[in-house]
Chain A
Amino acid sequence: SAVISQKPSRDICQRGTSLTIQCQVDSQVTMMFWYRQQPGQSLTLIATANQGSEATYESGFVIDKFPISRPNLTFSTLTVSNMSPEDSSIYLCSVTRGQGPYEQYFGPGTRLTVT
């Protein structure tokens, strides 16, 4: 498994502002992902964070709104830009160690409320 921490654990932000969420893993991992979980909903993949290159975004998500960095094999950030109340969600990072369809391990999540 992997020990994953996220900062902040929760935040309340005003619309139009941006928030950067950090994800730290206790050891090197192959792949890191960012998910969004809207209230009462399941998880939706935002993007795959690629080490040393641009993230790979899923349909419906764009870099201008959700810029992602991954400077090394244990750390990634997700920024939620120009926030609106519709961005109120839990944002989770996850990691996997190997190539292929291995299980993912999830961080505790960041609960974001936009007012």
Chain B
Amino acid sequence: AQSVTQLDSHVSVSEGTPVLLRCNYSSSYSPSLFWYVQHPNKGLQLLLKYTSAATLVKGINGFEAEFKKSETSFHLTKPSAHMSDAAEYFCVRTGNTGKLIFGQGTTLQVKP
């Protein structure tokens, strides 16, 4: 079955340190992949997307993700965390009907 697995339900970093949020997908083909962010009491915002072009994808707010087919991974990174990055992050893939399949989410905590 098509699925997305976010390997960490909760990640805590200090402000100014790197962020790594891990995501693996299962598939017999390369899907489109996305990262969305959800701030408390806010809707979902698209951070970045991979659609079979460049494997290193740059998004908003300094985030980027690298598509690694051999590892079926699409990890989200940021060199230096900011307090405003504290939020829930969802790794999302397309299914074979074009619908979105969401991971379980990773809560990012940023400590001062």
Given the known interface contacts A101-B31, A101-B98, A103-B49, the answer about A43 and B90 at a Cβ–Cβ threshold of 8 Å is yes
Within the assembled complex, what's the spacing in Å between the Cα atoms of A33 and B32?
A: 18
| Number of residues on chain B facing chain A (CB within 8 A) | 21
Q: Which of A1, A42, A102, A105 contacts B102 (CB under 8 A)?
A: A42
Expressed in whole angstroms, the minimum distance between the Cβ of A36 and any Cβ of chain B is: 11
Within the assembled complex, what's the spacing in Å between the Cα atoms of A94 and B98?
A: 14
Q: Contact at B46–A105, with CB atoms within 8 Å?
A: yes
Chain A residues in the interface with B (C-beta under 8 A): 1, 4, 33, 41-45, 48, 92, 94, 99-109, 111
In addition to A92-B43, A103-B46, A108-B43, 4 A-B residue pairs with Cβ atoms within 8 Å of each other are A101-B31, A103-B49, A106-B36, A108-B42
Chain B residues in the interface with A (C-beta under 8 A): 31-32, 34, 36, 41-46, 49, 51, 90, 94, 98-100, 102-105
